[in-house]
């Protein structure tokens, strides 16, 4: 009995010590990088906000931002995200108060390089500007957005993501 | 003599083509040379770090729990890479995705810990780690170069254009999973071919 | 609530672990020479992936998140999976020797199988519920087994085929995998 207890202690102490050292090291690394990581995320959001409404200031209300120009409300900006072809697509959407889309800016996506990634390029995203929410559908689905050749899935995914979220925000702001 | 530990990982016992280890990240992140370089630097760091630490602790780790001990050491290094990459190279971190934490199950690293670092001195293990890490880098960058050039008709490394656009209609399939399998099959067949030729000549 | 059917079809066909995500490739090429051993490996992986999903989810949700130590997930997950696999091995060796004979030799290989670790990480990343995670783990295992079985069938035939000398064994296996992956791409974009 005594023997086996001794054996367990002898075996487990090194493992426990290694785990403690590992935990301590990682806590230090986490503290060292925590602010930077938070900054990375915030910077991406700020950058995309200024791409949507250049020169405006923003007030965060709930889960969307109200864009103010010279103290006057000009529209709303919100993050829409959902599943794309391979991974999550995260995009910033700008919308005027009357419910037309001002523009979209893809914050992050993991689509197929060279094909699906083109949803982030201006050639594609510019199509959203000035469209009414109900027209944010692919042309073959009865909307006004031309899909990218060879990347219909990614094109449809981002269109659906933007429209669904925009419909929610329109109801919230009304 | 010692230099052997360094160079054997490069060609003779290349972890990818000879030992066939670490295939998952190899195929998943070899779509672009950028990603391949980032990934292999991360692997190199983890490999060297864990080899050195495990070699230092080798007499002190009880054989019964050596695998859990190795795993904790490796996983700690992986997490350090993951956190710092997130903070300092966020774009790369995003493109590599879950393949960064998955370095922990990369067979090269546990394989070297078990077969080499747990038996040899610190300096040998350090050289072995560097050699194997660079060997992995050579393999993955080779595959990524083929795939990037064929699938986009160009090559851009960290914003610098190395090869300008060669064609308007590149072979998109090379970017997709099948292209990865094709590339590694052809490279392996080429290696076999030269080995067979050389053996015949002798 | 997660759409369980969508998770299952996604993990088996659309985002097949082996052919789309490149996870679990080492056993995919290592144990696919014979259909019988492929089946044994497949069952072992289904079992371990399902259990790993069921174990890592509560650990992440009730231990790592409340203490704000999500960054420890890599260390915790791999340690839990390794311990679990070893425990299972001991149990079935002691009580079910026939099962041990069938699955035993594959279990140690599973610890470093990236598919198991991969499913645990993906569950967290996708934010699935407990049930969603278990379904995801189970279906990912099925998807792995499906790919492994198809591959072993092909390789059994290849044994008899006249393959160029430099392509013998692994290179031709990779070519077959490429064609399989090409076929599985037909599933992409399937929505439920």
Report pLDDT digits (tens) over A70-116.
878 888 888 888 888 777 888 999 988 888 888 899 988 877 766 78
Q: At what angle do helices C73-95 and C35-59 cross, to 10 degrees?
A: 130
**Residue range of the domain that includes B59:** 2-201
Identify from A12, A34, A83, A111 which residue to disrupt to test chain C contact, counting C C-beta atoms within 10 A and taking the largest count.
Answer: A83
Given a cut of 90, whether residue B45 has pLDDT beyond it is yes
Q: Which residue of B has its CA nearest to C168?
A: B189
Q: Give the residue from chain C lying closest to B64, CA to CA.
A: C86
Which residue of chain C comes nearest to B22, CA vs CA? C26
B19 — pLDDT class (breaks 50, 70, 90): low
CA dihedral B20, B68, C90, C109 (to 10 degrees): -10
Cα separations in angstroms, B132 against B1, B7, B14, B58, B139: 17, 8, 7, 20, 11
Nearest-angstrom CA–CA distance, A80 and A57: 20
Chain B: residue whose CA lies nearest to C173: B185
Q: Which of B:102-161 have CB within 8 Å of A?
A: 151-152
* A30, A85, A152: residue with CB nearest C71: A30
pLDDT band at C190 (very low <50, low <70, confident <90, very high): low
C122 touches chain B (CB under 8 A): yes
Q: Is the CB of A14 less than 8 angstroms away from the CB of B32?
A: no
* A30-46: pLDDT as tens digits: 999 888 888 888 888 88
ipTM: 0.83
Band of residue C150 on the pLDDT scale cut at 50, 70, 90: very high
Alpha-carbon distance A69 to A82, whole Å?
A: 30
> Does A174 reach chain B within 8 Å, measured CB to CB?
no
- Per-residue pLDDT band for C105 (boundaries 50, 70, 90) equals low
CB proximity list for C81: less than 8 A, separation 6 or greater: C48, C52, C56, C111, C116, C117, C120
Spell out which residues of chain B touch residue C170, defining contact as CB-CB under 8 Å: 20, 185, 188
What is the reported pLDDT for A50? 86
* Residue predicted with more confidence, C181 or B18: C181
CA pair distance A53, C34, nearest whole angstrom? 61
Interchain pair A153, C189: CB under 8 A: yes
Model confidence band, residue B4 (pLDDT cutoffs 50, 70, 90): confident
Under 8 Å between Cβ of B150 and B179 = yes
Chain A, window 32-61: residues with a beta carbon less than 8 angstroms from a chain C beta carbon: none
Establish, for the pair of chains A and B, how many residue pairs have beta carbons separated by less than 8 Å: 71
Nearest to B50 by CA among B68, B66, B71: B71
Q: Which SS3 state, helix, strand or coil, does residue B157 take?
A: strand
CB pair distance less than 8 Å for A14 and B69:
yes
Residue C133 — very low, low, confident or very high, per pLDDT cuts 50/70/90?
Answer: very high
**CB-CB under 8 Å, B78 with C74:** yes
Is the CB of C188 less than 8 angstroms away from the CB of A30? no
CA A100 – CA A130 distance, rounded (Å) = 6
Residues of A in contact with C20 (CB under 8 A): 86
Helices (H), B20-65: 23-28, 33-57
Dist CA A58 CA B193 (whole Å): 63
- Determine, for residues A22 and C75 on separate chains, whether the beta-carbon distance falls below 8 Å: yes
Per-residue pLDDT of C54-92, as tens digits, reads 999 999 999 988 888 888 888 999 888 888 888 888 887
Residue of B nearest to A12 (CA): B65
Mean pLDDT of C88-115: 74
Across the interface, whether the CB atoms of A85 and C189 are under 8 A apart is answered yes
**Which C residues 13-52 touch A at CB under 8 Å?**
15, 20
CB contacts, 8 Å: B32 with chain A: 113
Q: What is the pLDDT of residues B59-111, one digit of tens each?
A: 888 888 888 889 899 999 999 999 999 999 888 888 888 889 988 888 788 88
- Give A59 or B181, the one with higher predicted confidence: B181
Strands of the sheet with A101-108, listed across from one edge: A57-61, A64-69, A72-83, A88-96, A101-108
A22 CB near a chain C CB, below 8 Å?
A: yes
Query: Looking at CA atoms only, how far is residue B181 from chain A in angstroms?
Result: 16
Write down the pLDDT at residue B36: 92
In this complex, the residue of A10, A33, A44 whose CB is nearest that of residue B62 is A10
Characterize B174-187 residue by residue with b for buried, 16 or more Cβ atoms within 10 angstroms of its Cβ, and e for exposed.
Answer: bbbbbbbbbbbbbb
Separation CA C191–CA B122 (nearest Å)? 53
**Residue of chain C whose alpha carbon sits nearest to that of B179:** C178
- Could you tell me the residue ranges of all domains in chain A? 52-173
- The total of other beta-carbon atoms located within 10 Å of residue A57's CB is 14
Q: Find chain A residues with C-beta within 8 A of C64's C-beta.
A: none
Query: What distance in Å separates residue B163's CA from the closest CA in chain A?
Result: 16
């Amino acid at each position: 009995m005594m023997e086996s207890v001794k054996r367990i202690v002898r075996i487990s102490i090194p493992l426990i010590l290694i785990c403690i050292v590992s935990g301590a090291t990682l806590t230090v690394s986490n503290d060292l990088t925590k602010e930077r990581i938070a900054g990375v995320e915030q910077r991406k959001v700020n950058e995309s906000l200024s791409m949507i409404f250049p020169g405006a200031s923003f007030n965060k209300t709930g889960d969307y931002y109200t864009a103010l120009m010279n103290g006057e409300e000009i529209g709303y900006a919100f993050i829409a995200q959902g599943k794309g072809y391979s991974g999550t697509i995260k995009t910033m959407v700008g919308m005027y108060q009357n419910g037309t889309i001002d523009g979209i800016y893809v914050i992050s996506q993991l689509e197929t390089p060279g094909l699906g990634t083109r949803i982030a390029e201006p050639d594609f995203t510019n199509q959203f500007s000035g469209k009414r929410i109900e027209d944010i559908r692919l042309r073959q689905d009865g909307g006004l957005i031309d899909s990218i050749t060879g990347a219909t899935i990614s094109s449809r995914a981002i269109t659906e993501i933007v429209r669904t979220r925009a419909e929610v925000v329109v109801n919230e702001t009304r | 003599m010692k230099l052997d530990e360094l160079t054997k990982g490069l060609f003779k016992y290349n972890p990818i083509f000879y030992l066939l280890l670490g295939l998952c990240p190899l195929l998943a992140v070899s779509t672009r040379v950028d990603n391949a370089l980032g990934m292999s630097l991360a692997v190199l760091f983890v490999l060297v770090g864990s080899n050195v630490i495990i070699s230092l602790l080798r007499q002190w780790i009880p054989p019964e729990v050596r695998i859990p001990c190795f795993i904790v050491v490796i996983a700690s290094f992986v997490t350090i890479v993951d956190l710092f990459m997130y903070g300092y190279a966020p774009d790369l971190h995003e493109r590599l995705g879950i393949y960064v934490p998955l370095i922990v199950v990369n067979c090269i690293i546990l394989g070297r810990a078990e077969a080499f670092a747990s038996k040899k001195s610190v300096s040998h293990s350090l050289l072995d780690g560097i050699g194997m890490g660079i060997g992995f880098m050579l393999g993955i960058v080779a595959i990524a170069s083929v795939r990037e050039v064929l699938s986009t008709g160009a090559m851009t490394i960290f914003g610098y254009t190395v090869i300008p656009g060669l064609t308007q209609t590149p072979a998109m399939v090379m970017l997709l999973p099948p292209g990865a399998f094709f590339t590694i099959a052809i490279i392996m067949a080429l290696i076999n071919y030269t080995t067979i030729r050389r053996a015949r000549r002798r | 609530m997660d759409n369980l059917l969508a998770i299952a079809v996604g993990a088996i066909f659309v985002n097949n672990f082996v052919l789309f995500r490149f996870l679990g490739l080492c056993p995919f090429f290592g144990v696919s020479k014979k259909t019988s051993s492929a089946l044994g490996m497949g069952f072992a992986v289904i079992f371990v992936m399902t259990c790993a999903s069921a174990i890592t989810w509560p650990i992440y949700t009730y231990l790592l998140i409340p203490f704000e130590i999500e960054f420890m997930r890599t260390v915790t997950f791999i340690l839990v999976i390794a311990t679990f696999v070893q425990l299972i091995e001991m149990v079935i060796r002691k009580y079910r020797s026939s099962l041990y004979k069938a699955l035993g030799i594959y279990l140690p290989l599973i610890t470093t199988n990236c598919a198991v670790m991969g499913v645990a990480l993906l569950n967290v990343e996708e934010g699935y519920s407990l049930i969603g995670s278990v379904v995801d783990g189970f279906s990912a295992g099925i998807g792995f087994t499906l790919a492994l079985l198809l591959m072993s069938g092909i390789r059994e035939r290849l044994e008899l085929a006249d393959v160029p000398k430099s392509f013998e064994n692994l290179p031709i296996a990779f070519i077959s995998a490429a064609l399989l992956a090409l076929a599985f791409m037909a599933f992409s974009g399937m929505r439920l």
